Amino acid sequence: MVATPKQLYHNISNCTGVLGARILEAYNASMAQAMITCYDTSLELGDAISFNIGYVGDNGKIFQGFVRNIEKNLPSANTVVTCESEISKAIDYYMAADDPEHPFERSEILTEDLVEDILNEAQITSYTHNVPLSVTWGTHGTSVKFNLTTAWQAAKSIVDALAWHLYCDRNGQVHLTGQHPYAEGGEVASFTWDDAAHKTLMINYGKSAEELRNRVVVYGYNNINASASVASPYLPPGFYKTAVIATPIVTNHGQAQQIANLNLARFNRLTESLGLTVEGDYRITPRLWATIVNSYLVVNGLWFIYQVEHLFDSSGYLCNITCTR
Amino acid sequence: MASIWKLNGVDIYVDAYSEAKQPQIAELNPINSTDGIFHWIFTPDKTLEVGGLVIGDTNLILIQNTAASVVVLTTDLGTKTVLVKDIKADRQLVSCQLIDLLQPQTAPVYKVTITLRL
């Protein structure tokens, strides 16, 4: 039986003759990005923007952020408005103390509070955290200092050391979590893309040990160092691929070893990735889980949604998704 | 028998007319599916195609000058405001013309096909 066409919907304001929109969100991206193609716009650089896409009767918020670039083109007679999410303020904010002898500095501070203080420097105040353990920085009489770096790089250096995750949601709130792009138990699928439901327009699968690291070495402040390693069934016996974390903000051996262990758990795994295209759904966003079943590729199971590209234009509304496990 | 219509006041002896309404619908075909998924993008205004004869170079040039303009099409059923999108003209090699008696018999005869949008 033939299906009734779904009418595409958007509520992008201050843009006339909207021809399409492309929204890219990824687990490992510093921010979400939206590109709106239209005939003309009254938006200016720095303007706040928020919009929904989807279908008439089934649409929702897909992006919130600021206008970063406006480009006008002829003879195509269109305007491309590029927008970035709230966290772009942290990328743009360069931490440069008026007095280089007194840079941003903290001691005896928990990770989530340190990250919050750094984000506040960039005027990002909507923030929440859900971290798996307490890690204190600037201990034993030392302090954590940041200068001549962006707020984003400063926050990421702390977050990445612990193999944690910092991201901005579609409402402009920044989250600090311990979430990893692989299953650790208790995950529930938000979507199902399988043969029976006929939802998949394209699918491909790949498996690689290229990013696998089964040895992690941490170099910290004043010769502090630690390492962690384990044999991998995907590498030749006795062979170790090493990742190095070198940062002066690691100020004691216990912390260095904790960081080595956390990052070994994160890096010592095979990369399985799945690329698929499905009918557009504004609800699809990274950090959710999907059950994917495909009898040809034999990739049945729970997958982590790593990246989503929402394409909304005259070709319809599609989602290009990258999943990992 | 042709109808005499006017495009921006210029006579066209119309012998062919068609209308088209072409909604833009994207079709998605999932793997292993038997039914397509359809996304309706938009439905533009009607496209009209008018075919007929234009007599004389002067009238042909007046017609051609309406390209990309919004003009009035006067038909036997009333008037419409249209955008002239495309004009094609083929000279008809005839020995004389008796269609438009206000013009010389040796006036050139052109078969025109004009695409209009409402």
Q: Each residue of A48-106: pLDDT tens digit?
A: 999 999 999 999 999 999 999 999 999 989 999 999 999 999 999 999 999 999 999 99
Measure Cα distances from A144 to A103, A109, A123, A154, A247 in Å: 10, 9, 20, 10, 11
- Main-chain phi, psi angles of A319, to 5 degrees: -120, 125
E runs forming strands in chain B: 3-7, 10-20, 24-28, 37-42, 47-55, 70-75, 78-92, 109-117
Determine the average pLDDT of the residues in B15-41: 91
- The pLDDT tens digits for A113-158 are 999 999 999 999 999 999 988 999 998 888 999 999 999 999 999 9
pTM above 0.90, yes or no: no
| % of residues, chain B, pLDDT over 70 | 98
Using CA atoms of A226, A229, A235, A241 in order, give the dihedral in degrees to the nearest 10: -10
pLDDT for residue A298: 78
The verdict on a CB contact (< 8 Å) between B28 and A318 is yes
Residue of B31, B34, B41 with shortest CB distance to A8: B41
- Name the minimum distance, in Å, from the CA of A46 to any CA of chain B: 30
| Whether the predicted pLDDT of A1 surpasses 80 | no
Q: What is the reported pLDDT for A321?
A: 97
Residues sharing a CB contact under 8 Å with residue B58, sequence separation 6 or more, in sequence order:
none
CA dist A80 and B33 (Å) reads 35
Omega before A233 within 30 of 0, i.e. cis:
no
Residue A234 vs residues A3, A212, A213, A253, A299: alpha-carbon distances, Å: 47, 9, 11, 30, 19
**How far apart (Å, rounded) are the C-alpha atoms in residues A253 and A264?**
16
Residue B51 has pLDDT above 70, yes or no: yes
- For B75-104, what is each residue's pLDDT tens digit? 999 999 999 999 999 999 999 999 999 999
CA distance B104 to B13: 17
* Per-residue model confidence as pLDDT tens digits over A162-216: 999 999 999 999 999 999 888 888 999 999 998 777 678 999 999 988 889 999 9
The pLDDT tens digits for A278-289 are 999 999 999 999
Which residues on chain B are in Cβ contact (under 8 Å) with A200? 30-31
Q: State whether residue A203 sits within 8 Å of chain B by CB.
A: yes
Q: DSSP letters along A182-220, please?
A: S--S----SEEEETTTT-EEEEEEEEE-TT--SEEEEE-
pLDDT tens for each residue of A250-285 = 888 999 999 999 999 989 988 899 999 999 999 999
CA–CA min distance A55, chain B (Å): 9
Q: Which two tokens stand for residue A269?
A: 């795994």
pLDDT score for B35? 84
pLDDT at B1 over 90: no
- pLDDT of amino acid A2: 78
Considering only alpha carbons, which residue of chain A is nearest residue B38? Answer: A5
**Whole-number Å distance between alpha carbons of B59 and B65:** 10
**pLDDT at position A296 over 90:** no
Q: What is the pLDDT of residue B2?
A: 63
Q: Are B39 and B25 in contact (CB under 8 A)?
A: yes
Which chain B residues are closer than 8 Å to A17 by Cβ? none
How many angstroms separate the CA atoms of A255 and A118, rounded?
20
Q: Is B68 on the interface with A (CB under 8 A)?
A: no
The DSSP symbol for A221 reads G
Q: Under an 8 A CB cutoff, do A203 and B31 touch?
A: yes
Contact assessment for residue A231 and residue A212, using Cβ atoms and an 8 Å cutoff: no
- What gap in Å lies between CA A32 and CA A321, rounded to an integer? 14
pLDDT at site A204? 93
Instruction: Please state, in angstroms and rounded to a whole number, the distance separating the CA atoms of residues B53 and B2.
Output: 9
